[in-house]
Amino acid sequence: MKNAVTLLFFFISLMGNSQTNDSFDIASFAVPEAWKKEVKTSVVSYTKTSNAKGGYCVIAVYKSIESLGSIEKIIITNGKNW
């Protein structure tokens, strides 16, 4: 049992070395290495491309907004910002 716990902590520490911690608005998260960061007023995005395979991935974190009571009101009021 002791060996299993030691091994678990070893793997967790290895995973932590390949990521950096970041935050935006109310969110905190770990960002893998080699992802390109782009910051705008209401969104931060991270992009990773693979030229060899012709693929890409984009992850976006949007700024929180105050609830107006219904999704329809939120879209009408804040739709221009999206």
Integer angstrom CA distances of residue 18 from 35, 47, 55, 61: 11, 16, 21, 20
The pLDDT confidence band at residue 7, using thresholds 50, 70 and 90, is low
pLDDT at 52: 87
The amino acid occupying position 47 is T
* pLDDT of 54: 86
Helix, coil or strand: residue 18: coil
- The CA-based angle 68-22-29, given to 5 degrees, is 65
**Mean pLDDT, the chain, whole residue set:** 78
Q: Residue 38: what pLDDT?
A: 94
Tell me the per-residue pLDDT of 36-50, one tens digit each, with 9 for 90 and over.
999 998 899 999 998
